[in-house]
Chains A and B, each alone.
Chain A
Amino acid sequence: MDFLVAQFLNGLASASSLFLVASGLSIIFGVTRIVNFAHGAFYMLGAYIAYTLATTIPQPFGFWLALPLSALVVAAIGAVVEMTVLRRIYAAPELFQLLATFGITLMVEDLVVMIWGPEDLLGPRAPGLEGAIPIMGQLFPTYDLLVIAMGPLVLLGLWLLFHRTRWGVLVRAATQDRTMVAALGVNQKWLFTSVFTLGIFLAALGGALQIPREAVHHALDLQIIVEVFVIVVVGGLGNVLGAFLAAVLIAELNAFGILLFPKISLVLMFLVMAVVLVVRPWGLLGKPDAEARASIGQAIEPLRRMGPVSLAVSGLLVAALAALPLVAGPYLVIVTMELLIFALFAASLHLMMGVGGMVSFGHAAYFGLGAYGAALLVRFLGVPMELGILLGPLLALAGAILFGWFIVRLSGVYLAMLTLAFAQIVWSIIFQWYDVTGGDNGILGIWPARWASDPKVYYYIVLVLCVAGLVAIRRVIFSPFGYAVRACRDSTTRAEAIGLDRRRVQWMCFALAGAFAGVGGTLYAYLKGSVFPDVISIATSVDGLVMVLLGGIQTVAGPIVGAVAYKALSIYMTSQVEYWQLILGGLIVVLVVAFPEGIAGFWQARVAPRLRAATGRGWEARS
């Protein structure tokens, strides 16, 4: 009993810290509509800077000055980021904003390693609150009581700020209708900057508060951002009180889950989120998004089948790829296989995201299920490669059918978060089900059949299957079913009014996309000869997103271009540059600011019309 109380208080302390970060994220989303992926990075930065300040300013003031000072410094950095990057892309589709903040995250991750080194840093104890006090017979750290108090205090402070100041009223008004606020004489730019700065201040304060409680390290950002996303979504986007309740719920779940269900402790949070979202599609206290936003991938320019020139170029490209092993060395062949596999992965994501309008933060789940499908068949049944390649993707298909049923019940950011939840569930199962999946150690020895053991031979299997997959995806997009998918994305009202069952159509689309990703995953497993839980990690899902967005979501060729460009770049960078994330992140930010429509989209919107104008071919003439 006493132990349970202590555990409960522990949970509350974590909840406070999570709430600080989540409230900031929620406020920023409410007003700017930006899903700030970099929020975790600012949290981490808050912790690092607080560590430095607390260890350089003499105690006892050092520590207590470090907390607010660090939050202020990071908030100032946040303000600069908002003014230089985000301000330029508020009009861009929300996913590009996400992409930009992801780029910032990459940069910050490398920067903290450059400045503070890769080691874990242990912060000083809080002067005056070093000890512990007995609570029901258990010693409980005094400092944690302060942390527990911070949550409700910040909640109260935010409530007063939003209801008792003009600034707060403006923020609430802008959350509902920011254009109208501007039309009443309020300078949106500064309102956005101030909101973003406040949000980052809270995140950094959350990070700074943690330094006596846990070590500071350079992976803190991803660790917290996922939990905070879950909290914000469970609470209801943009709802601060909801975020508080969800923070307590999730933190207590973590505190007790590890005691009650140690085997599925990692999954628990995501299970709860999945249940909440299925029962309450807009979170505990959230409201349906009244503002109808143009959905992702919606284009004015209709998709077109390839003209003779594009067909010829594609044919030549495939021919060149077929000839590659004759001239290239094994390294280039292996790299090309990886590019092909990821092109298929990105194209499958584009099918559901660009064509279907369903954004996925967890597409890696199906890639990973394809890989593990083959690996498990090899490990337990010893099936030959030929059969493994055929059956492996079925696991991905089954997963997509199962999860898809839930996912198509939601839309927008909530749908995206549910895909993330399911991906994390898959990852956790594979990570924790050691007896079957080998957990962290993965499954080894998934090699191609003897006749295909030469990379140059396996290359042709990959080439044939990936090209076939890409052609098939393209075919589906232009098939009647593809039109049904686009119809549901463009206008659900109209689609339902002409006899389409939106959920069913989207469910099928989701299953198809999962199956194609699974093919990629299976091929990847045989390419690497092994699988590890990494293939399902958030990083892989985000890689897919970056590829699609970089290439351009409104074109069919975009994701392929994006996959090749991004993957080639990251393979090159990881091998050549020490701080490759910094450069990659910077590149992403620059690309998003310069080309908010993506590379292929930029080509189609800006370059192609000029070419057409120059050659005198208007689109009317091509019909």
Chain B
Amino acid sequence: MMLEVRDLNAWYGRAHILFDVTLGVERGTVVALLGRNGAGKTTTFASLIGLVPSVTGAVTFDGEPIQGRPAHEIVRRGLGYVPEDRRIFTGLTVEENLMVGAQPPRPGVPHWTPEMLYELFPNLAELRKRQGGHMSGGEQQMLTIARTLMGNPSLVLLDEPSEGLAPRIVEQMAQALIEMKRQGLTLILSEQNLHFARLISDRATIIEGGRVRFAGTFADLDANPEISAQHLAV
């Protein structure tokens, strides 16, 4: 197991958000985290990356415990995070955004340079001097992913990467994610778009009300339509 999460509980203030979340991700696979708005997907990611102050449970990444560590330490171990809502630095240019994400190379994982990322996301190449605030939603989303890759992660958490994008852009996004997987990256993506998730992912985990309700392959999920019906309202 590359990432192992056991009995993760998280609170925002007094509100208990995650209840005993348990997950396992094998190296080189893609796991889709499915569930509705407010189900706990974003909190799960934020907890893994060290952005939620009150968390209990055990998280091991590459065999080392990372729970309770500050975010920057977790990221420097190779856990990349692509937040929802893009969150690029709108006052910075594309190049500068990439600079913020840059980390030293790490053995055994692809070492990304801006040039390689401009190849992966051809739209960005023409925009390197453009300010982040003057880009379209799709371009911003690609920049968010590129910026995280600059940290040379071995595992990337992607929070709703297809959300609010035109289908044409979603297609490009899918291609980029498949390419990342081909390069040997491990991915966890949270999604509401089942089709998108199915296209890219090897396994699915359904989270609802802060609890894991299902974990298995898409074939298992298809074999139990009542699960999707109950938790995903499909």
Using a CB–CB distance below 8 Å, which chain A residues touch chain B?
A: 166, 169-170, 172-173, 175-177, 179-189, 300
- From A169, A186, A188, give the contact of B92 (CB < 8 A): A169
Contact A187 B13 (CB under 8 A): no
Contact A176 B71 (CB under 8 A): no
- From A166, A173, A175, A182, give the contact of B71 (CB < 8 A): A182
Contact A177 B89 (CB under 8 A): yes
Q: Does residue B134 face the partner (Cβ distance < 8 Å to A)?
A: no
Residues of B within 8 A of A181 (CB): 100
Tell me which of B28-36, B75-83, B116-124, B220-228 binds A: B75-83
Distance in angstroms from A454 CB to nearest chain B CB is 53
Interface centre among B81, B83, B100, B147 (most CB of A within 10 A): B100
Measured in the bound complex, the distance between the Cα atoms of B89 and A166 in whole Å is 14
Contact B103 A180 (CB under 8 A): no
- From B14, B51, B72, B92, give the contact of A173 (CB < 8 A): B92
Q: Does residue B65 face the partner (Cβ distance < 8 Å to A)?
A: no
Residues of B within 8 A of A300 (CB): 13-14
Interface centre among A176, A179, A300 (most CB of B within 10 A): A176
Contact with A along B88-99 (1 / 0, CB 8 A): 011110001101
Q: Does residue B43 face the partner (Cβ distance < 8 Å to A)?
A: no
Using a CB–CB distance below 8 Å, which chain B residues touch chain A?
A: 13-14, 49, 51, 70-72, 75-76, 81, 83, 87, 89-92, 96-97, 99-103, 147-148, 151
Contact B72 A186 (CB under 8 A): yes
Q: Looking at chain A's contact residues, is the secondary structure mostly helix, strand, loop, or mixed?
A: helix
Contact B92 A182 (CB under 8 A): no
Residues of A within 8 A of B91 (CB): 172, 175-176
Contact A185 B75 (CB under 8 A): yes
Distance in angstroms from A431 CB to nearest chain B CB is 42
Measured in the bound complex, the distance between the Cα atoms of B88 and A177 in whole Å is 9
Q: With A170-B100, A300-B14 known to touch, is A183 a contact of B90 (CB < 8 Å)?
A: no
Distance in angstroms from A172 CB to nearest chain B CB is 6
Measured in the bound complex, the distance between the Cα atoms of B71 and A189 in whole Å is 11
Please give me the residue from chain B that is nearest to A301 by CB atom: B14
- From B14, B70, B96, B101, give the contact of A184 (CB < 8 A): B101
Distance in angstroms from B93 CB to nearest chain A CB is 9
Contact A185 B103 (CB under 8 A): yes
Distance in angstroms from A244 CB to nearest chain B CB is 18
Residues of A within 8 A of B75 (CB): 182-185
- From B76, B83, B102, give the contact of A180 (CB < 8 A): B83
Residues of B within 8 A of A172 (CB): 89, 91-92, 96
Please give me the residue from chain A that is nearest to B49 by CB atom: A183
Measured in the bound complex, the distance between the Cα atoms of B91 and A172 in whole Å is 8
Distance in angstroms from B59 CB to nearest chain A CB is 16
Measured in the bound complex, the distance between the Cα atoms of B103 and A429 in whole Å is 58
Distance in angstroms from B123 CB to nearest chain A CB is 21
Measured in the bound complex, the distance between the Cα atoms of B71 and A507 in whole Å is 43
Contact B100 A173 (CB under 8 A): yes
Q: With A169-B92, A176-B91 known to touch, is A186 a contact of B83 (CB < 8 Å)?
A: no
Distance in angstroms from B106 CB to nearest chain A CB is 11
Residues of B within 8 A of A183 (CB): 49, 51, 71, 75, 81, 83
Distance in angstroms from B47 CB to nearest chain A CB is 12
Distance in angstroms from A238 CB to nearest chain B CB is 11
Residues of B within 8 A of A176 (CB): 89-92
- From B87, B97, B99, give the contact of A166 (CB < 8 A): B99
Q: With A179-B51, A300-B14 known to touch, is A184 a contact of B148 (CB < 8 Å)?
A: yes
Please give me the residue from chain B that is nearest to A188 by CB atom: B72
Measured in the bound complex, the distance between the Cα atoms of B72 and A189 in whole Å is 10
The 21 sampled A-B contact pairs (Cβ below 8 Å) are A166-B99, A169-B96, A169-B100, A170-B100, A172-B96, A173-B89, A173-B96, A173-B97, A173-B100, A175-B91, A176-B89, A176-B92, A177-B87, A179-B51, A180-B87, A181-B100, A183-B81, A185-B72, A185-B75, A186-B72, A300-B14
